[in-house]
Structure 1
């Protein structure tokens, strides 16, 4: 009986540790993404470089899950979600037109650091590559 209780107690402890680790990973993603503004270094769609379409914009990610595409025109607002376990970032600018609407996707993070993210996605059979860098 004691060994069953010990195993149950260990299982609870490990579950708590896993949740703590997951929370710390989420906090790290939030800290990295929400500190400073980001700009597009490179954006390719099906191999075509359309980076210059994004040159007027910088992106501000907020802790509440909102995101703004900032330029001299009024900001374009949307939502974002980072999943450190799946290594994805989801962005959705609901009312955006191109080029900002091309950001609407679940992006698989291929490479990243505190000041850059390289990600890929496929939307409607269009392969997209995104390289964001912090200002």
Structure 2
């Protein structure tokens, strides 16, 4: 019986740790790059070439490219289903970072990837960040 309880406890601990790895509730530390941005079937990932993104635990995000940086904000709701990013207005003058300004539905957050889709299904936008 004691062996059974030890095995059961180990199995439960393993199940809990794998759950937190798959959805940690925060963006893992490090730098990230956009490896997919598509809108209505058009792949616009190349617009983000050279950008490096750093998400801080305090809700700030910084995009850096060619030595120039642009600050923004991010948040993740308490049940890890909505990821909001704000780099300012969606105008031609603020492209491509303004394209990321949105309320995103979380598809997956792991230690190496953040996969999102626009919370408005009709926009058909998909965004993936991959850890550097």
User: Normalising by the residue count of structure 2, what TM-score does the alignment of the two structures yield?
Assistant: 0.72
Secondary structure in 1 matching 2:30: coil
Residue 65 of structure 2 corresponds to 71
Q: What residue number does 1:87 align with?
A: 81
For residues 84-121 of structure 1, the C-alpha deviation after alignment (integer angstroms, 9 at most, x for no partner) is: 41511100012671111000011101123111011100
Task: Determine which of 91, 111, 116 is the counterpart of 1:119.
Answer: 116
Aligned: 1:104 with 2:98: no
Q: What is aligned with 1:8?
A: none
In structure 2, C-alpha distance between the alignment counterparts of 1:53 and 1:44, rounded to whole Å: 10
Q: Does 1:53 align with 2:47?
A: yes
Q: Give the Cα–Cα distance (whole angstroms) in 2 for the partners of residues 103 and 52 of structure 1.
A: 14
Q: How does 1:13-24 map to 2 (within 5 A)?
A: none
Q: Based on CA coordinates, which of the two structures has the bigger radius of gyration?
A: 1
Q: Deviations over 1:19-55 (max 9, x none)?
A: xxxxxx8xx423xx15001101111011100001001
Q: Structure 1 unaligned runs (5+)?
A: 1-24
TM-score where L is the length of structure 1: 0.70
CA RMSD in angstroms comes to 2.2
1:133 aligned to 2:130?
A: yes
Higher RCO structure, 1 or 2 (CA under 8 Å, sep 6+): 2
CA contact (8 A) 1:29 1:82 kept: yes
Q: Number of residue pairs matched?
A: 107
Runs of 4+ in 1 over 4 A off after TM superposition: none
